Amino acid sequence: MATDKPITNPEFPGTDSAETASANAGTPTVESAQGKAVVASDLRPPKKSARHYLGLTGSYLLLTSLSVVILFPIYMLILRAVSSPLAYISAGQPLHPVDIQWDVFKVAFVDANLGRAMGLSFVVTMIIVTAQLVTATLAAYAFAFLEFPFKNVFFGLIVGTLLLPIEVTLIANVETIRRIGMLNSVQGLTLPFLATAVGIFLIRQGFLGIPSEIRDASNLDGYGHFRFMFKVALPMSKPIVGSFIVISFLGAWNQYVWPRFATDRQKWQTVQVALKTIGSENPERLNLSFAAAIVAALPLLVLLIFFQRQIVRGLTAGAVKG
């Protein structure tokens, strides 16, 4: 098991990369490097090294094999996207690309629906994220800073929406959208998501964290409600607001069920819905689907790299607070 105590290791030589450490599995190279590099190692109990490096190697082996398991499907996706479908199949479906065609991305964008689908997804996502931020901030402000009759009732109504996700209300909402003629429209794709209970809870939590003396001081300084909201409350809740924006983006971009049923024309498919249809008319064009999947995941990959902290905070908000 990988439960050994985290290793505090100033002695680990900075030159060793993860790969060499695992590749050289406890060989003298690693040990001599260690002996030379660090004076502090003299102070350590001498028996450590052998078992210690065995364990270290084990750790890297484990981490590497887990990485392979996780990355293998992604590797297969890329492989299948760039390989010519027919050549790949006749080659016996190997683990390496066959007859690489880089223009699959261009074909997907130009010939297939991918460009338009990506654009639509961006528009829909931006509208949803912006609207959710606005509506959630306003509602959270009311719950955090104002006293009003039936506050608990309204709060209960908002908690109640957690029991009514789009999956439950799907068919009724599709009927509503159909009746008001918004099937196949940006309005139809976004309207049900312009407000969010989770966002209200998160931002309210941020607002409640503002010390009461700051609120008193703002009151004396002469801030009105809206200026207080924008100049003090929101900036002071920046970490939570940032996390909310990121997870809101994640949710809006990744939606499948609603855009799938709020549209019945290919023209109005968001990228998630388009993934399958792009290649599905012809199994030989399935590489277009695979290419589209890569493209569809790219914005989130960028998000993951640049906003890792916000994502982690957003995803764990429910778990850690409890």
Partner 1 sequence: MGAVTFDEVTKKFGDVVAVDRFSVRIEDGEFMVLLGPSGCGKSTALRMIAGLEEVSGGILSIGERVVNNVAARDRDIAMVFQSYALYPHMTVAKNIESPLAANRKVRLPAAERATRVAEAAEILGLTDYLGRKPGELSGGQRQRVALARAIVRRPEVFLMDEPLSNLDAKLRTQTRLELVDLHRRLGTTFVYVTHDQVEAMTMADRIVVINEGRIQQVGAPQAVYESPANLFVATFIGSPPMNLISGKVSASAGGSVEVTTDAGTVTSTCSASLSKGADVVVGIRPEHLSLSETTSSGKGLRAKVENIELLGHERHVICSAAGSKIVFRQANDAAPVALGQEVTLDAEPDGTHLFDPTSTQRLN
Partner 2 sequence: MSDIPTTSTEATAGSPDAPAMPVPLGKGVRRFGRRLSDSALAYLLLLPSLIVFGVFAYYPLYRLFWYATHHQSRFRNRPATYVGFSQIRDTLTGTDFKDGLLHSGLFMVYTVPLGLILGILLAVSAHRRLKGIKIFQTIFSSTVASSVAVASVVFLTLVNAEIGYFRDVSWLSLKNPTSALFAVSLSAVWQNLGLTFIVVLAALQTVPDELIEAATLDGYGAIRRFFKITVPTISPALLFLAIVLVVFALQAYAQIEILTGGGPSGGTETLLFKIADPSGVRSLGEKASLSLGLFVLTAVVAGAQFGIMSKRVHYGD
Residue 231 interface partner, choices partner 2, partner 1, none, CB cut-off 5-8 Å depending on type: partner 1
Question: Residue from 82, 198, 250, 262 that binds partner 2 (CB under 8 A)?
Answer: 250
CB of 254 to partner 2, least distance (A): 3
157 vs 186, beta carbon nearer partner 2: 157
Residue 235 interface partner, choices partner 1, partner 2, none, CB cut-off 5-8 Å depending on type: partner 1
What residues between 155 and 214 interact with partner 1 by CB under 8 A?
Answer: 211, 213-214
Q: Which stretch binds partner 2 (CB under 8 A): 23-31, 111-119, 235-243, 285-293?
A: 285-293
Closest CA relative to residue 295, chosen from 77, 19, 65 = 77
Question: Residue from 253, 262, 263, 310 that binds partner 2 (CB under 8 A)?
Answer: 253
SS3 301: helix
76 lies in the site for partner 2, by CB under 8 A: yes
Q: Which stretch binds partner 2 (CB under 8 A): 15-23, 44-52, 97-105, 230-238?
A: 15-23
Compute CA distances 217 → 3, 23, 212, 213, whole Å: 50, 61, 9, 6
Compute CA distances 235 → 140, 141, 242, whole Å: 14, 13, 10
HSE value, Cβ hemisphere, 13 Å, CA-based, for 100? 5
28 lies in the site for partner 2, by CB under 8 A: no
What residues between 167 and 206 interact with partner 2 by CB under 8 A?
Answer: 167-173, 175-176, 191-192, 194-195, 197, 200
- In whole angstroms, give the CA distance from residue 244 to residue 318: 12
213 lies in the site for partner 2, by CB under 8 A: no
CB of 209 to partner 2, least distance (A): 18
224 lies in the site for partner 1, by CB under 8 A: yes
- Cβ-based neighbours of 162, under 8 Å, separated by 6 or more: 197, 198
What residues between 131 and 160 interact with partner 2 by CB under 8 A?
Answer: 134-136, 138-139, 141-142, 146-149, 151, 154, 157-158, 160
Q: Which stretch binds partner 1 (CB under 8 A): 90-98, 121-129, 135-143, 221-229?
A: 221-229
DSSP for 189-237 reads: HHGGGS--HHHHHHHHHHHHTS-HHHHHHHHHHT--HHHHIIIIIHHHT
32 lies in the site for partner 2, by CB under 8 A: no
127 contacts 186 by C-beta, under 8 angstroms = yes
42 vs 213, beta carbon nearer partner 1: 213
In three-state form (DSSP H/G/I as H, E/B as E, the rest C), the secondary structure along 65-87 is: HHHHHHHHHHHHHHHHHHECHHH
87 lies in the site for partner 2, by CB under 8 A: no
CB of 222 to partner 1, least distance (A): 3
Structure-token pair, residue 241: 């607001």
Which single residue is written with the structure tokens 């599905």?
Answer: 280
- Cβ-based neighbours of 261, under 8 Å, separated by 6 or more: 170, 174
**Which residues contact partner 1 (rule: CB under 8 A)?**
211, 213-214, 216-224, 227, 231-232, 235-236, 238
